[in-house]
Amino acid sequence: MDSVLRGAAIYCVVLIIVRLTGRRALAQMTPFDLVLLLIVAETTQQALLGDDFSVANAAILIVTLFTIDIGLSYIKEYWPTLEKVMDGRPTLLIGNGRQDERALARARISLKDVMMAGRSQHGLERLDQIKHAILETDGNISIIPAKSD
């Protein structure tokens, strides 16, 4: 019983903390984020397993985590509000070439980040070549370039 409760508790805690920290922490992989991910993984591992290193415990935990994941995906399908709360909605950062300063600031995204996405996705050179920029729910920035004349 302990393994299932531990698994569920850690799943919820990590989910809530990651969701409230913001999407960017997930998608960006700067060296600092890599360190953060490694430390979080190591810390949760200890809380998950406790002092029980048996194969049974590991198997129960893995099954628990996958079951929660599958269960949540079904619940989200029938209960869109939960999906909105858990996964969020995409945010328009630049619309028709107009920057939404408030959205950029609140989502902690600089124009440098937007330009980086523009360069890597479309080889854009300047900000005015971007028509729309959208912060997706997975933390990535999608760029729709302006039509070249």
Chain contacts with another protein (rule: CB under 8 A) = 9, 20, 22, 50-51, 84, 88-92, 95-96, 98, 100, 103, 106-107, 132, 134, 144
Q: Quick one: DSSP state of residue 96?
A: T
The residue (of 98 and 119) whose beta carbon lies closer to another protein is 98
The answer to whether 113 and 107 have CB atoms below 8 angstroms apart is no
DSSP line for 4-43: HHHHHHHHHHHHHHHHHH-THHHH---HHHHHHHHHHHHH
Min dist CB 3 to another protein, Å, is 14
The residue (of 30 and 81) whose beta carbon lies closer to another protein is 81
Min dist CB 20 to another protein, Å, is 4
